[in-house]
Structure 1
Amino acid sequence: MNALHTWRTSWFAHPLQGQSERDGIAEHEVLLAVWLAFFGLLVFASWLLWRLGVWQMLVAADPTLLTIVILVIFTAATLWVGRRSYLLSRQHAWLAEARALLQGPAPQSATLLTTLRAQPQSWVQCYLADLIAKGPGHWRGNGQLTDLLAEKSHGAHESAWWFNAALLKLGLLGKVIGFSIMALALGSLDSIEATQTSTLLKNLTAGLGTALLTTMTGLVGNILLGLQLSRLDRVADALVADALELAENGLARVFPDR
């Protein structure tokens, strides 16, 4: 009970600071937890498909090996998303620290600038420090600095989206190759004889299997990776929006006469 009373007293004594710290921790934990849960489901599904022999069937039915290429790209991109999720979660935690600095008594600009410069890994703190360095008469002219912050939070995602589109295109390429195999098999026959029926059916089945399996793998990979990248973009958008709000409201207290 004493511990509970102490916590309630400290919380209501500093409600804004306590709220920001709680929100920063929640954002950090939720973002990582969502990706880890998603990755865990992927690992379990992969193990289950291996136990059922689906992976072996895909490799055996695809002589072009495009299915393996798609899986390798998807796995590498998913691991990159995990690393990026951790980075963005850290940026949200540093954003909460910057908010706590500006929610207390109005600090001196020189002192605040020194404190913000001490965390060069934080995009938001560097953004705020650059605004303060522009001086009281120019800190609201933040268009170029905002574009720089947006580039840091979103720029790397463009390459990931390109690889996401490449998964779909590789699947379509497998479809074209599969139907080409079928067309070549039919075109190589001068006449259909009973002795050639089994060979013809084998070639047609191989071509159709390549076309369908590569397309299916590319579509599934495109959908799953797109879900992850959409989440990353949403979190990056929230980071930039919170940084803009913090700059407009927080720095107005640092430069109250402007």
Structure 2
Amino acid sequence: MKLSQLFKSRDIIEKPEKGSHHLILAWLIFTGIFIFSIIVAWNENLLIRLYLSDKSYISYAITILYILVAFHCASRVFYISSQINDSKKVEELVRNNENISLQMTDDKVHVNGDITLPDCIVTNFIHDLLNKGTHYPNAADLLSDSNAELIEVYEARLKSPHEIGWFSADIMIKLGLLGTIIGFIFMLGSVANITDFDITSMQKILKHMSTGMGTALYTTMAGLVCSMLATVQYHMLDTSIDDLIQTTKHLAQVYILPKIN
């Protein structure tokens, strides 16, 4: 077996190719399981018990915040998935043409003069490399050294919209802890107003204590669950972006920079 064939088979074993729209499918599976769990919880009256027991109404705020986060995640999933699929098309065009010629026209990149690369992060990165190679034709070291800094800019652009999601996930936990404090205040407030210890008064006190404890526990549970669900989705997005950035780095170093230099 030739050495090139050995490395090729090794790459296939170590890096299995993910299918088209892999991110969307993974997110839909996750969302489907979540919706199924919500339906089961609704049929078992768990959600009704949650919202009726929470006298602070913080669970409502956590739920609304999570719904907004879920819509934001959905929009990012479809965007990142389209970027990944278009980047795969660019990778196939570049890798399958040994004697490839890249031309830049305005904000478009053409392969061999007749094929226009789709608009995606890889195409934009190639466009910037060609632009630098045009303005600094004798600066091969400059292209190689600034390549890492340039790809970090694209990585920051892709991940910066997720900061609001990570912030929201942290806010959900803090809202749950705030509900815990409010619940204990309700519970201890009923004890502080004791004037006598007859049966009727004790029943009222126990009722107020159970209401306060329910508020504390249910808001904490709502905050933790919604925060974990949001974290899983944004971790899924960041992992896909990391894979996309690694693919872009490899394509640029192996196939693009040698042709520019």
**Residue 219 of structure 1 corresponds to which residue in structure 2?**
224
* SS of residue in 1 equivalent to 2:100: coil
Task: Indicate yes or no: 2:56 matched with 1:64.
Answer: yes
More moved, 235-244 vs 98-107: 98-107
Counterpart CA distance in 2 for 1:55 and 1:115 is: 55
- Segments of structure 2 that go 5 or more residues without pairing to the other structure are 1-7
**What is the CA–CA distance in structure 1 between the aligned matches of 2:84 and 2:253, rounded to whole Å?**
18
Please list every run of 5 or more consecutive structure 1 residues that lacks an aligned counterpart in the other structure: 1-14
CA RMSD of the aligned region, Å? 2.4
Aligned to 1:246: 251
The one of 98, 106, 114 equivalent to 2:109 is 114
**Counterpart amino acid of 2:128?**
D
Counting only pairs closer than 5 Å after superposition, residues 73-92 of structure 1 correspond to structure 2 as: 73-92=65-84
- Structure 2 residue aligned with 1:134: 132
Aligned residue type for 2:131: A
CA displacement, residues 135-155 of structure 1 (integer Å, 9 cap, x when unaligned): 142432224321221112211
TM-score by length of 2: 0.82
C-alpha separation in 1, matches of 2:230 and 2:64: 12
AA matched with 1:229: Y
CA 1:65–1:118: 2 relative to 1, 3 Å: farther
* Residues 1:157 and 2:162 aligned together: yes
In structure 1, the residue matched to 2:41 is 49
Identity value in percent: 25
Distance of 1:110 and 1:209 partners within structure 2: 66
Higher helix share: 1
TM-aligned CA deviation for residue 68 of structure 1: 1.5
- CA 1:198/1:143 → structure 2, altered by over 3 Å: closer, same or farther? same
Matched residue count:
235
TM-score relative to the length of structure 1: 0.83
What is the CA distance between 1:76 and its match in structure 2? 2.0
Question: Counterpart of 1:200 in structure 2: which amino acid?
Answer: I
| 1: CA distance, partners of 2:226 / 2:109 | 46
